[in-house]
Structure formats: C-alpha cells, structure tokens
C-alpha cells in the first residue's frame, strides 16, 4: 500500500485475508492501518490472566447461551470432518499441485465442494463456477500456488500463528450465519479493539461474493459519518456521501 502511495488506509478481509490482516495490523497498525473489518474472526478464548471480566462472561455464555454452544459444535464439526484439504495442502502441496494442474475435472471437484459446502445455499451459476476454476487453472503459477500458502503457514514454513496478538487499532466484525469459523462473539475482543459488530441473516464463508452489498454496507456503517471509526484516516470522508 505504501508503494501505491497510501500512507494511511483501512483494511478488510476474510479467510486468508483475515489471517494476513491480523499480522499486518499487528506490525503496521495505527501508523499506517487505521482500522480493519473482518468477516472471519479467528480467535481463541480469553485467558483469565489477561481478560478476567471477559473470561467470566465467556464462561457464562458457554454454559447458558444455546447459540454459542451450537456455533462451537459447528466449528468442532468443521475441524473434525472438513479439514482434510488443509492437511494435504499444508504437508504435500506440490504432489497435489501436479494432480490439480493435470486434471481440470479434478480441480473442479477440489474447489466446487467448498463453493457448495462453505456458502449459505448460494445458487451458483455455471459461468460463476467456471470463472472461479479458471482463475486457478489458467494463472501463470497454476493451482499449486494456492496450496503452497498452507504449507508455508502451517507446514514447512515458520509458523507464526493465526493471530499474533491484540492491537488498539479499531476493529469491526461482520457475522454471517454460514461462516465456518463461528467462534463466540465475545472472543473477538481478544484480537483487537472491537468498536463495531454486525450480524446478518444471510451469507456464508464467501460473503464478499455471496452478499457483497451486506459486507460493503458494514464498511459504510463503520467508517461513515456517525460510525465508530469515522475519520480514522484524516481527510478521507468517502462514506459520508
């Protein structure tokens, strides 16, 4: 962003965008990144030594809040039965890369499963699916490039963790019912200074593609006039219109 001439800016990301965002905000927050919004808040439970009051509230919700219990059960199921792809990509990415490059149908099956399972009953068209697959198949680096990031993060590279730590950069979270990582909302306070939350009745893991107007709307609410992060980038008031 600095090379593009943006000395101060805000950030939004989900999935790998969230993971990259946590590290980028941790290293460049406040000085360059003035705020960020995530739609996949990967986070852990608050520790009593760090967040005593948050820890107590969290324990109460785990015992009495049925929505929290249901969401954690869903996350547990994802980790138990839906992470085979991650295990393969984080340990033997190149072997998988040969297969995905050799077989367009294999690549289609590898990705289409996620497009269906990870969305909130999104009605995929043939053109949309072909477009998604083509981005991987016809890219210069090929499908293997998308598998190697898992290896670098979780397998053979230096493992720095999903979240490096709490920052004071204003944080917003968009919650979608079909998101895979539906951790308790209170836990989001452990990754940043939570100033904005928005819960939606539709949308899944690929919210930016499924319901772009809802995600864009959250950005407008968070940074627009009257929003909790309004004016974090001095002189930039695009959402005030």
Alpha-carbon distance of 126 to 141, in angstroms, equals 24
- Those residues whose C-beta lies under 8 Å from the C-beta of residue 78, and which sit 6 or more positions away, are 180, 181
The conformation of residue 154, written as its DSSP 8-state character, comes to I
Active-site residue flag, 15: yes
Single out the catalytic residue among 51, 200, 205, 223: 205
Active-site residue flag, 240: no
- Is residue 93 helix, strand or coil? helix
CA 204 to chain centre: 11
CA 190 to chain centre: 15
Token duo for residue 181: 């990582």
- Those residues whose C-beta lies under 8 Å from the C-beta of residue 76, and which sit 6 or more positions away, are none
Alpha-carbon distance of 193 to 187, in angstroms, equals 12
Single out the catalytic residue among 51, 136, 150, 151: 151
Query: Using CB atoms within 10 A of its CB, is residue 3 exposed (0-12), middle (13-18) or buried (19+)?
Result: exposed
Single out the catalytic residue among 11, 15, 120, 223: 15
Q: Phi and psi of 117, rounded to 5°?
A: -75, -30
Q: Which residues form the catalytic set?
A: 15, 151, 205
């Amino acid at each position: 962003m600095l090379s593009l001439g943006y000395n101060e800016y805000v950030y939004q990301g989900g999935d790998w965008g969230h993971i990259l965002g946590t590290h980028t905000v941790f290293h460049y927050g406040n000085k360059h990144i003035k705020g960020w919004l995530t739609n996949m808040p990967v986070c852990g439970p608050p520790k009593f030594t760090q967040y005593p009051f948050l820890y107590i509230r969290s324990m109460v919700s785990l015992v009495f809040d049925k929505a929290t219990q249901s969401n954690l059960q869903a996350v547990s199921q994802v980790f138990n039965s839906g992470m085979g792809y991650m295990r393969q990509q984080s340990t033997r990415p190149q072997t998988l890369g040969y297969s995905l490059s050799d077989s367009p149908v294999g690549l289609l099956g590898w990705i289409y499963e996620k497009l269906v399972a990870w969305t909130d009953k999104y009605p995929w068209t043939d053109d949309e699916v072909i477009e998604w697959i083509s981005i991987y198949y016809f890219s210069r680096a090929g499908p293997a490039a998308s598998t190697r990031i898992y290896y670098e993060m979780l397998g053979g590279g230096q493992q720095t963790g999903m979240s490096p730590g709490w920052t004071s950069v204003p944080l917003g979270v968009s919650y979608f019912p079909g998101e895979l990582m539906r951790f308790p909302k209170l836990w989001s306070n452990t990754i940043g200074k939570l100033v904005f939350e928005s819960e939606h009745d539709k949308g899944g893991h690929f919210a930016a593609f499924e319901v772009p107007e809802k995600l864009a709307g959250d950005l407008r609410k968070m940074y627009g006039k009257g929003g909790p992060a309004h004016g974090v980038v001095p002189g930039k008031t695009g959402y005030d219109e």
